[in-house]
Amino acid sequence: MRIVFAGTPDFAVPSLRAAAQRNEVVAVYTQPDRPAGRGRELALSPVKREALLRGLPVMQPENFKSAAAREALRELQPDLMVVVAYGLILPQSVLDIPTYGCWNVHASLLPRWRGAAPIQRAIEAGDRDSGVCLMQMEKGLDTGPVLLSQSLSIGEAETGGQLHDRLAALGAQVLADGLGLLRAGMRPIAQPQPQEGVTYAHKLDKAEARLDWAQPAPALANKVRAFNPWPMADATIAGERVRVHGAIALPLQHSAEPGSVLQAGREGIDIACGEGALRIRVLQRDGGKAITAADYLNGRRDLAVAR
């Protein structure tokens, strides 16, 4: 089959490899190179780097609003367009070009967590399960019928980064299964999404990373996991602002003011929350690297004395 692949971040790379395994990838679409790092030099997307390693043609239009951009896609004569975290909403005029339309690999069990950040929102909400859906794309935001899906359990201590990697691999597997069926002439049956259970995974914002000690400890622990490695939760501990890499919720009964240090020791720093306490195990000072709570306390003698 002649496949056009569209994707941008690391999550899409395993799916590109799966698409290229037994099919002809005639072009790879990805977002234009963007300035990154302190030097603000143009950086290639992970998908572009993978495509260049494989010698695949790369296309980087800003969008498909122009007739020229749509005509360039049409001239590729694609049987199918595979879209994985591309970063653009495709108009109907683009969805109609490939013979079999456009397939999307989405990192949630639709209709739960449609939108930009399904992995992090699932952990933040305390979901026990996640998964991947291979979806036939339509004009709405992740509203298309599901072709194939596969679920997995979210680990109790699993971070957003860890779940991201597992779902990226699972997405490639589900895509490979769908492509195999299509090559064999058995097009996957599209199942409309149910109307019940729709939730939206809004894009992550750095402003959300601030921990509010008035919230229950389990909610804060979920946020710490979800926002690792980005945007990474941050909080103030006894007057110092730090980034929190690892923490667990404790069902402690207390009457302390939220944000107060209840105890500080080798196992962690226990902070009073609106309900329970959050034990911070791994944290990062401004300009430093991630360290254990025990190492942090070596430089905070005031907390060591307070305990």
CATH code (residue 95): 3.40.50.170
Last residue of a domain, one of 201, 221, 256: 201
- The mean per-residue pLDDT over the stretch 169-189 comes to 97
Looking at the fold, whether 180 and 275 belong to one and the same domain comes out as: no
Task: Cis check for the bond before 229: say yes or no (omega within 30 of 0).
Answer: yes
- Give the pLDDT band (50/70/90) at residue 169: very high
Q: Please tell me the predicted confidence (pLDDT) of residue 307.
A: 46
111 is in an annotated binding site: yes
305 pLDDT exceeds 60? no
Looking at the fold, whether 212 and 264 belong to one and the same domain comes out as: yes
Looking at the fold, whether 212 and 265 belong to one and the same domain comes out as: yes
Helix and strand element counts for the chain (H, E): 9, 17
Strand order in the sheet with 129-136: 58-59, 24-29, 2-7, 80-84, 102-106, 129-136, 146-153
Q: Give the range of the structural domain holding residue 217, as residue numbers without chain letter.
A: 206-306
Instruction: Find the CATH number of the domain harbouring 302.
Output: 3.10.25.10
Q: Looking at the 3D structure of the chain, how many domains does it have?
A: 2
Looking at the fold, whether 153 and 284 belong to one and the same domain comes out as: no
Mind listing the pLDDT tens digit for each residue in 51-81?
999 999 999 999 999 999 999 999 999 999 9
In 44-185, which ranges are E strands? 58-59, 80-84, 102-106, 114-115, 129-136, 146-153
Q: What is the mean pLDDT of the chain?
A: 96
Which one-letter DSSP state was computed for residue 207?
G
Residue 240: beta bridge partners?
237
Q: Please tell me the predicted confidence (pLDDT) of residue 97.
A: 98
Q: Quick one: tokens of 197?
A: 């259970």
Sorted by sequence, the CB contacts under 8 Å of residue 279 that are 6+ apart come out as 247, 248, 249, 250, 267, 268, 269, 270, 271
95 is in an annotated binding site: no
pTM of the model: 0.95
Greatest Cα-to-Cα distance within the chain, rounded to the nearest angstrom: 72
Other C-beta atoms lying within 10 Å of the C-beta of residue 231? 17
Instruction: Report helix angle 13-21 to 160-183, nearest 10.
Output: 20
Looking at the fold, whether 261 and 152 belong to one and the same domain comes out as: no
Percent of the chain at pLDDT exceeding 70 = 99
- Give the pLDDT band (50/70/90) at residue 37: confident
174 pLDDT exceeds 50? yes
Q: Quick one: tokens of 35?
A: 């300035």
Q: What is the CA radius of gyration of the chain?
A: 23
76 is in an annotated binding site: no
Looking at the fold, whether 125 and 238 belong to one and the same domain comes out as: no
Mind listing the pLDDT tens digit for each residue in 73-127?
999 999 999 999 999 999 999 999 999 999 999 999 999 999 999 999 999 999 9
The residue written with tokens 């309900």 in the block is 275
Q: Quick one: tokens of 186?
A: 């058995």
Q: Quick one: tokens of 289?
A: 């690297």
39 pLDDT exceeds 90? no
Q: Please tell me the predicted confidence (pLDDT) of residue 304.
A: 61
108 is in an annotated binding site: yes
